[in-house]
Amino acid sequence: MRIALAQLNYHIGNFEGNVAKMAERIAEAKAEGADCILFGELAVCGYPPRDFLEFADFIRRCEAAVEELASLAQGITVVVGAPSVNPVVEGKDLFNSAYVLSDGRVQDKVHKALLPTYDIFDEYRYFEPYRDFHVVKIAGRKVAITICEDLWNVGNENPLYPACPMDELIGQGPELILNLSASPFQYRQARERIDVLKHNCARYGLPIFYCNHTGAQTELIFDGGSVVLNAAGTVYDEMPYFEEGLRIYDLSEVAASAEGPARLSADRDQPKDKFDLIHRGLVRGVQDYFGKLGFKQALLGLSGGVDSALTLVLAAEALGPENVLAVMMPSQFSSDHSVSDSEQLCANLGCPVIQLPVAPVYGSFMEQLEPHFQGKPFDVTEENLQARIRGVYLMALSNKHGAILLNTSNKSEAAVGYGTLYGDMCGGLAVIGDLYKTEVYALCNHINRIRPVIPEHILTKAPSAELRPNQKDSDSLPPYEELDTILFEYIEQRKGPREIIAEGHDEALVRRTLKLVNRSEYKRHQTPPILRVSPKAFGMGRRLPIVGKYLG
């Protein structure tokens, strides 16, 4: 039995485009003698379709796409993910399904049993969990078909679900496991995914053929990394990250690699360097956000600081430097090197750059506002006014030229509210909003090792918003090394103040930091979508009330 894994970049709701991609891969797999081709979870409509699933027309188009794919399933079995209608009145109206297509028609359907409803996932909102399990015959083999989360309830001390679908299926004598997945990227995911699959191999003694999505859907990025493990739990092959591709595997060769002379002595997986994965993931996230929305050009405010520098580098790599406009907007408080560093960066990258000084407009605003400020001293009001003038400049250019404004805020700033609404928090996409400040520096250094484009002075000077004389971030915030550790423990690890203080952090600093995080929720609700690269990103995967007393 020859099994093809088709790792593709789908587009939510683009049925014609998705089917065309799959049709091309079906023809290729047939030409290479595959008996079966496996696509990803909800591949027909893209993942996650969210409330599109509530539209009857959307479901009808899914069904029509499945029928079109079925017509191509001649001489090959196609296993593809799509929603299907639950014929039972009680319960949710849909199943998250794997369709088995051959001889020009739908031969069987398998439905997802374990529906994740945590972090970014909300599948129980739409789908009914399945409870009646059966193996499927493909090319004379008994196959256990599972869908993503169905394999993720093993190997942990606190399982989310009371049962595992494979515990039911293993009694029916399957010879292998096929898994259709849509498993979003975060920098630990590739390793965690393989670990989970190894636990399944150890538990059931079967080879696994796991097919994942690649590409990005708004803030969610999919890394691919489709993988084949033999029955001994050794990685036989792992497909590339952030790339489309088709690979065909001979089941007998995979089986032989688990025993005897052909036994694999080590996993054949890919390197999993954190910042290499983040770098590639963010570039893919920008490319697909623009490409799938039909935009080609971006702009951003270039301050001379590390955050805007990194955002510019990533955008230039994703879209081409000629398509990213850098806008320098110095104020009366900007240092000379902020301008010169920015100019050097743009020259290194080949990006166009313009300069729009803030001072003339700031002077006009102050002239109009001064009588109403009633003689009160300079404070954050005047600082925010400068940031908002910059936001007006950038949005005007965005509107006029049809370019998407990229937000340059980092996760540390977003966490504690160190940003100005309708100013530096403007934008259509937050590129680095899931990177703590210390990670921003680490990624810059990683990129400079590949190609030294970011001027060294940007990486060594003290961070500053430059909105008042001699301002530094350290005037308002603790050193980022300490702040980021506290934020990570609270946001990613969900630790409370007592636990964090017990690790040796200053009590007053911990309590102040956590208070800032919770009191800044209203700002984060008004920010652009943030490309997710961590296990717990701000956005759809972290849902907290704006009005609340806890730690506030």
Q: What is the set of active-site residues?
A: 41, 112, 148
Q: What are phi and psi of 525, to 5 degrees?
A: -70, -10
Distances (CA, A) of 16 to 11, 46, 103: 10, 12, 22
The residue ranges of DSSP E strands in 359-461, in sequence order, are: 404-407, 429-430
Strand partners of residue 444: none
Specify the DSSP element, H or E, that contains 3. strand 2-7
Cβ atoms within 10 Å of 34's Cβ, excluding its own: 26
| Closest to 269 measured CA to CA, from 307, 230, 215 | 230
Q: What are phi and psi of 178, to 5 degrees?
A: -105, 135
407 and 387 Cβ atoms separated by less than 8 Å: no
Tell me the residue type at 216: A
301 and 424 Cβ atoms separated by less than 8 Å: yes
Distances (CA, A) of 259 to 266, 384, 474, 544: 13, 66, 59, 50
Residue written as token pair 């301002």? 471
Give the integer Cα–Cα distance in Å for 219 and 285.
7
Calculate ∠ Cα 94-289-430, nearest 5°: 110
| Closest to 182 measured CA to CA, from 143, 228, 147 | 147
Bridge-based pairing of strands 245-250 and 2-7 is: antiparallel
